[in-house]
């Protein structure tokens, strides 16, 4: 069976981010046919079309990293009922200049955690709208809005609640199957 390279973006820049803990857990419990690499967004300057003719090296490397994976997993908090500015900035870098969008036909999934009862539901909907414009096929179900409670995920990525761990395992298995379906319908060499 084919192993797919998945790049994951963590929407939070915080070193102790609970979404970073979630990302660690997801990479540990995912099916063996998914390999993961974090694509960091921290060092990207603010995007401007003034750079389109000559991207700075950090932005070029970021854009190339997105282009070099088979799928993208977004693990993000919700800030003010939307996505963090740093994540939107990263998407802008990868999707520009016009006609050179690194997300085109690249399968994606969105997940996030928050202490709030609705998790990251509203922020995820905003992100889905942006990804739709970027022509990234999205796994729409199952949706995953994880309410984070103290100790739910250890720093090492162990999920301490059995039902949450099982849900996350199922979510990642579904993501794997979604990637397979996308590349069956939209072969990469087409």
The pLDDT-based confidence of 188 (bands split at 50, 70, 90) is confident
Of the chain, the percentage scoring pLDDT greater than 90 comes to 95
Whether residue 145 is predicted with pLDDT greater than 90 in this model: the reply is yes
d(CA 120, CA 153): 17
Residue 184 token pair: 């069956």
pLDDT single digits (tens) 35-84? 999 999 999 999 999 999 999 999 999 999 999 999 999 999 999 999 99
Is residue 108 within a helix (H) or strand (E), and if so which, with residue range? strand 108-114
Residue 124 token pair: 């995820």
| Burial degree of 74 (CB within 10 A; 0-12, 13-18, 19+) | buried
- The correct answer on CATH 3.40.50.360 for the domain covering 4-185 is yes
pLDDT single digits (tens) 146-162? 999 999 999 999 999 99
pLDDT value at residue 1: 75
183, 190, 174, 155: which is closest to 2 by C-alpha? 183
pLDDT (average), residues 17-33: 97
pLDDT value at residue 190: 56
pLDDT single digits (tens) 72-117? 999 999 999 999 999 999 999 999 999 999 999 999 999 999 998 8
């Amino acid at each position: 069976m084919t192993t797919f390279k998945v790049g994951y973006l963590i929407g939070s820049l915080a070193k102790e981010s609970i979404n970073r803990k979630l990302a660690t857990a997801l990479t540990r419990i995912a099916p063996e046919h998914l390999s993961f690499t974090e694509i960091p967004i921290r060092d990207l300057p603010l995007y401007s079309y003034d750079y389109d003719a000559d991207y700075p090296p950090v932005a070029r490397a970021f854009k190339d990293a997105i282009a070099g994976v088979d799928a993208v997993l977004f693990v993000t908090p919700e800030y003010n009922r939307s996505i963090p500015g740093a994540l939107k900035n990263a998407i802008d870098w990868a999707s520009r200049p016009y006609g050179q969008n690194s997300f085109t036909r690249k399968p994606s999934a969105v997940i996030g955690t928050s202490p709030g009862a609705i998790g990251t539901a509203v922020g995820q909907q905003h992100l889905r709208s942006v990804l739709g414009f970027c022509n990234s096929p999205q796994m729409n179900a199952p949706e995953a809005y994880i309410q984070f409670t103290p100790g739910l995920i250890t720093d090492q990525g162990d999920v301490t609640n059995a039902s949450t761990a099982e849900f996350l395992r199922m979510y990642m298995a579904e993501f794997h199957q979604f990637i397979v379906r996308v590349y069956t319908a939209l072969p990469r060499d087409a």
